[in-house]
Amino acid sequence: MPNYNLKNVKILVIEQNSLTLEALIALLQGLGVGHVQSASTINGALEILKQGTLDLVISDWSPGIDGILFLDRVRNDTSNPNPFIPVIFLTAYSDNKQIKKAINAGINDFIAKPFSARHIYKRIIKVIEVPHFFIRSGVYFGPCRRHVLIDNYHNENQRRTSYGGAERRLSAIHMEDDSLPYRPTGD
């Protein structure tokens, strides 16, 4: 795994549980993230987003934080200066139905709880290394995962073979459900 200097990265963490929030902030600072802001409510997070200086959002998705509502406001509210900001959900909602709901809402990535520093770091690096084009249609606005160019792929038929958990379920959902707004081609 590459070792990035994250001192100039600006991340907003949205988490209603104060202990988890403190742990996430400490974890991100331990990874070298130089600028971490936090909010415990959707409205507080949206106010911070209006400043327009963030690179990434890591948001809880739980009964107290409606991640889908938050994501809809990020992507579609004209007062948000950056509707293209990458958003990663951090959640215990990791069943197929919930993953599909997050995909259809325009999520960039997903981390299932419980999480580790390695999980968080890998997702931050993925956002840096594999940026997605965004698409807007009548019913969807969010990252397109259909055609992703990855420098270390040797040919178009190569497939990643080491993934599990929520990632495996996410890929399986795409392969079996034609109603999704996009389908992966091997990532």
Strands 141-143 and 134-136: antiparallel
Cα four-point dihedral sign 15, 20, 25, 31: negative
CB-based burial of residue 168 (10 Å sphere; 0-12 exposed, 13-18 middle, 19+ buried)? exposed
Structure tokens at 65: 């934080």
CA-to-CA separations, 18 to 24, 60, 72, 129, in angstroms, rounded: 10, 12, 24, 31
- What domains does the chain contain, in order, with CATH numbers? 10-176 (3.40.50.2300)
Question: Is the N-terminal amide bond of 184 cis, ω within 30° of 0?
Answer: no
Query: What is the pLDDT tens value at each position of the chain, 187 positions in all?
Result: 678 899 999 999 999 999 999 999 999 999 999 999 999 999 999 999 999 889 999 999 987 888 899 999 999 998 889 999 999 999 887 888 888 888 888 999 989 888 899 999 999 999 888 888 888 888 888 998 664 444 444 434 334 434 444 544 444 444 444 444 444 444 4
Return the DSSP state at 64.
T
Structure tokens at 183: 């389908």
State the pTM of this model: 0.76
CA-to-CA separations, 41 to 23, 53, 63, 67, 87, in angstroms, rounded: 17, 19, 12, 10, 15
Structure tokens at 161: 């073979």
Quote the strand ranges of the chain, DSSP E: 10-14, 35-39, 56-60, 87-91, 109-112, 134-136, 141-143
